[in-house]
Amino acid sequence: MNANPAHQKPSGGTSTRLSRRPDAWGWGLFGGLTAGGAVLDLWSKQAVFNWLGPPENQTIYSVIPGFFQLVARLNSGAAFSMFQGQRLILAGISIVALAVMLFLFLTGRFHRRIIQVAAGCITAGIIGNLYDRMFNEGMVRDFLDFYIGSYHWPTFNVADSMLCIGVGLILLANFTSEADQTHDLPQKAEP
């Protein structure tokens, strides 16, 4: 018999684990990554834009010549500059996404640690870019520019990185079993 109440099934036959509220570790992971990631994103944007000056200056700082540089760019769209100039639509989508992430976390839908980390990263990314959309005239500040020769990957920021890391972790979680992500050891049936 499994002594862990989170794994016992109620009389209806469905697991109570799906509705379990976040524990202290869950709050720490989700809250810490959300707050830390959002602060890092907003601080890094402010620091780089103060250092390089406005995008009109076209100032570039080469970090790894021929591969990585810091630039000041403004983006009125979403990933890869899609939906240019659609500030209200993009802000609305971000607000809905933020509300969904918070609802899912608070109602215990993110019980696996890897998903709690992913959700914290995604939530931080949403907050960082939403802040720019709301308080920077709809323009998201990007500054990380990776390139090879004349080919440049679209310029991005820490919030974009957090979003990609979160999505990557969710994909990774789909390739691992839930038993790999919990600290509960399988219980042997008693003879």
Of the residues 41, 132, 145, 160, which is catalytic? 160
- Residue 151, SS3 per DSSP: strand
Distance CA 186, CA 179 (A): 8
How distant, in Å, are the alpha carbons of 63, 101, 110, 133, 175 from that of 126? Answer: 27, 10, 17, 10, 25
Distance CA 126, CA 93 (A): 10
Question: Any catalytic annotation for residue 184?
Answer: no
DSSP label at 155? Answer: P
Distance CA 137, CA 135 (A): 6
Of the residues 41, 132, 142, 145, which is catalytic? 142
Q: In the chain, where does DSSP find H-type helix? A: 24-52, 87-106, 113-135, 158-173, 178-181
Residues known to be catalytic:
142, 160
